Amino acid sequence: MTEVQADTATATARLKERLYATITMISVVVGLGASGHVEPGGAAATVATASAGLWLASVVADQQAHRVVHGNLAGGRELRTMLFVSSPLLLSAVGPLLLIAAAALGAMELETALVTAAAVNVAVLFAWGCHGGVRMGGGTVFALAAGAVDAAIGTAVAVVKAAAGH
């Protein structure tokens, strides 16, 4: 694999993790909002724990897969790439945590913060869908349609995950 191919594969894997983390964070904040009465501290702990747990699971799975395929633990450049690719799973908690902190400080209601966090993440899915549509060369209408479809699918998956208690 050439260096350009490796960079493209890394960028693809990182974007996949970013999209997965976005969908997962939608389900976490929707689940928190639907759970009834939750305090900012509990909401923050849930968001942080979900994010950290997903990141750790990803790192463990990547390391195990590397060990099985290559017969050794990933180290050096391979480990740095693995950590770089999985980092969006941690970064996905930043927005919701900032909004929850604003609610804890009285700037907004917690329910508003959770709905806003979900809406922002749906908008992110829409933006990535539009970007993908533009990259495919389909024009503005195609890009907007791709964004709408990605946002709708991501939201549906997140709502199903939240309803299932994940």
Nearest to 22 by CA among 77, 94, 78: 94
Check: CB of residue 121 under 8 Å from CB of residue 25.
yes
Q: How far apart are CA 99 and CA 33, in angstroms?
A: 13
pLDDT band at 165 (very low <50, low <70, confident <90, very high): low
Specify the pTM: 0.86
Q: Is 142 exposed, middle or buried (0-12, 13-18, 19+ CB in 10 A)?
A: middle
Q: CB neighbours of 95 closer than 8 A, spacing ≥ 6?
A: 25, 117, 120, 121
Number of domains in the chain: 1
- Residues present in the chain in total: 166
- Concatenated DSSP letters of 49-76: HHHHHHHHHHHHHHHHHHHHHHSS---H
Q: Mind listing the pLDDT tens digit for each residue in 5-64?
A: 778 999 999 999 999 999 999 999 999 988 878 999 999 999 999 999 999 999 999 999
Q: How far apart are CA 137 and CA 129, in angstroms?
A: 13
pLDDT above 90 covers a percentage of the chain that reads 80
Nearest to 153 by CA among 31, 19, 51, 34: 19
Full residue range of the structural domain in which residue 125 is found: 3-163
Q: How far apart are CA 64 and CA 164, in angstroms?
A: 28
Q: Mind listing the pLDDT tens digit for each residue in 124-144?
A: 999 999 999 999 988 999 999
